[in-house]
Structure 1
Amino acid sequence: MNRALTVARLQFVGWRSVVGWPWGILALSFSINLALFSAMNENDDFEPTTGGLMSIYVVMFVASINAITQEFPFALGLGVSRRSFYLGNVIHFAGQAISYAAVLYLLAVIEEATDGWGVNLRFFGVPFPLVEHPVLRFLAFAIPFLLLGFIGIAIALVFKRWGVNGLLMLSTVALAAIGGLVVLATWRGWWSAIGGWFADQPGWALLVGWPALLTLLLAGLSYLTIRRATP
């Protein structure tokens, strides 16, 4: 466990990229959206909702890939086991997810209290209309960080384990699977049923429940893969 904690602390050596880039890009996205909708000067009934919040999640997704591709060989060179490296990254991403979600939740509360920063803008509080319980709202911010983090880890481990051919094969299989499902759903006329299923799901299931299950699945697969990954 001590080695795992050391790996987790190692992630913060380059704190500018770990903290600065995600929040810097999010601040830029927020500023652009706020300026845009302030300039539009719409009526009070207009409540714009943007996807700018996704910017911080995308940056964290990229950071999770970098953590494996760049730091994995370095850590193994220092004598860190694959298990310790993996657990260290899990601790790191869990800590980031909790702390970042807390800040986003606070910003969403401020946004709600100020009537969308004075222009009815819904930027941080996107999950609020779907979930009402404070804990679920917090998890709605935190779980996507973990999900995208493990997706990034899984992609990076495929590259470390099987190289470029592995990535190309993964992309091909994913494209074929998604394309096949789209064709099948169109052929069988399932789109209305699929839409109804999503509509019937409670907000917490869509934002917390299903993403959490997928995160656990990816975490297990990533652990099995890293045991055979090469630097």
Structure 2
Amino acid sequence: MTDLLAGTAASVHPRSAPARIWNVVRLHLIDRRTYIGIPWLIVEMAFVITVFIAQIIGFTTGGLGTPDAIEGQRYSWAVLSPQWYLVIVGVQAISFGFPLALGFGVTRRDFYLGTALLFVLISAVNALAFAVLTQLEQVTEGWFIDTYMFNALWLGLDGFWWTCSRSS
């Protein structure tokens, strides 16, 4: 009996720290909808509502293409809606996922680093996507209907491609 246990113990290889941390990221991403799908569904719904409200304002005030109307749309908080959702998801990842991860033998340090890595990766992908959407919004002059959502005050006045192309 001891030889059998000794044989299995010798075949177990301890995982490296990066592998353990990556396993925590994978544990969180078992339900990808929570971290990827729902935030982009929120962005989509906020965009539809923004277009709807902007069109109502445009019809009642005589047009959306005026500088005042465009400047007024820069104060929209719709682009921040997925970030607030992800803050709540981060809190829930710790409170609900941590006991499960401890049951799998994950250390507190690895769980923290894996969760932090997940949210850094999500933030980087979302920042790149918002930068591209901001540029598309600028190039199409408000999605061809003078409606602006992604070019909010805190995301830059004109965007990096738009500024570079106008300065040359």
TM-score when normalising by structure 2: 0.74
The answer to whether 1:13 aligns with 2:39 is: no
| Count of aligned residue pairs for this structure pair | 133
Aligned to 1:51: 77
TM-score when normalising by structure 1: 0.54
1:128 is matched by which residue type in structure 2?
A: G
Aligned to 1:84: 110
* Structure 1 moving runs of 4+ over 4 Å: 131-134
- Give deviations 1:127-180, integer Å, cap 9, x for gaps: 121x8657xxxxxxxxxxxxxxxxxxxxxxxxxxxxxxxxxxxxxxxxxxxxxx
Q: Which runs of 5+ in 1 are unaligned?
A: 135-231
Determine the C-alpha separation between the residues in 2 that align with 1:96 and 1:20: 12
> Are 1:116 and 1:122, in contact at CA under 8 Å, matched by a contact in 2?
yes
Higher relative contact order (CA 8 A, sep 6+): 2
> Are 1:108 and 1:125, in contact at CA under 8 Å, matched by a contact in 2?
yes
How high is the sequence identity, in percent, across the aligned residues?
26
Aligned to 1:26: 43
Aligned to 1:93: 119
- Residues 1-231 of structure 1: matches in 2 within 5 Å? 1-41=18-58, 42-43=62-63, 44-45=65-66, 46-47=69-70, 48-49=73-74, 50-126=76-152, 127-129=155-157
Q: For structure 1, which segment, 88-97 or 32-41, has the greater mean C-alpha deviation from structure 2 after superposition? A: 32-41
The structure with more radius of gyration? 2
Determine the C-alpha separation between the residues in 2 that align with 1:80 and 1:125: 41
* Alpha-carbon RMSD: 1.6
C-alpha deviation, 1:87, in angstroms: 0.7
2:128 is matched by which residue type in structure 1?
A: A
> Are 1:25 and 1:56, in contact at CA under 8 Å, matched by a contact in 2?
yes
> Are 1:37 and 1:119, in contact at CA under 8 Å, matched by a contact in 2?
no
1:21 is matched by which residue type in structure 2?
A: I
